[in-house]
Amino acid sequence: MKTLTIKLTAPLQSYGNEASFERRTSWQAPSKSAVIGMIAAALGMRRNDKRICELNNLAFAVRIDQRGKIMTDFHTVEWKKEKRKLTYRDYYQDAVYVAAVGSEDKHLIDRIQYALRHPRFQIYLGRRACPPAGVLQIKCYENMNPVEALKRLPWQAETWHQKKHSKDKEYTANIIADANLLPDANFTQTQKDRVVSFSPKNRHFGFRLTAKKRIHLRNPYYTGSDKKEPDIMDHL
């Protein structure tokens, strides 16, 4: 299997989950449907293109390298004449994720890699208000599935965040992946992010079985100062 890792970073990111008209929350990490949508846009596929569903077959995993802080924005919506409502949308600020997609079809992975570097349509990190912070950082791994690639990839958090945790020798990161990529997981969970249709008139998603795993990543800014600071009272 050939795998791409894609670093996802931006001032704001939001990956919509089950939501009402008034409240739009976000998954804790990029959903598979969001990454498929980004890939489809890069490949030049329109929302009603039936080929998008074929991208569900990509093996998928995502790693949380820097947890963002939730920011809630609000919009005033006139849903009927002279009738307005406040709607609320959640975003993650300063988060860093690494998504990984893999396939036995190496030609498809090569096409995706080229498209993400030369997108046909604008790509977003979830909502259209969230463009990526610059050119996507992409790495390619031969003969590895997405989980194996994410285990190999160094910690991708921003430098200031790594320095903030300089007393920690390692960072514990969560990987959320297709359940078949983590066969030894203690439990699985369903997530509604399997693309059925992106059509604005009939947007629809199915369920996907996922699993989680924690891994330890080396902190390059570890100072070795995790020892207890001397206390003056010890010398009295």
Closest CA to 194 of 5, 100, 57: 57
Residue 188's H or E segment, with its range, is: strand 188-197
Are 17 and 81 within 8 A, CB to CB?
no
Report residue 18 as tokens.
């089950």
10: Cβ–Cβ under 8 A, 6 or more apart, which residues? 125, 130, 131, 132, 133
Domains, the chain, with CATH or none: 2-223 (3.30.70.2660)
CA distance 98 to 100: 7
Beta strands 137-141 and 170-178 are unpaired
CA dist., res. 23 & res. 16, Å (int): 10
SS3 177: strand
Q: Digits of tens for pLDDT over the chain (236 positions)?
A: 999 999 999 999 999 876 666 778 888 899 999 999 999 999 999 988 889 999 999 999 999 999 999 999 888 887 777 788 888 889 999 999 999 999 999 999 999 999 999 999 999 999 888 999 989 999 999 999 999 999 999 999 999 999 999 999 999 999 999 999 999 988 899 999 999 888 888 888 899 999 999 999 999 999 886 554 555 544 44
Which residue type is seen at 51? R
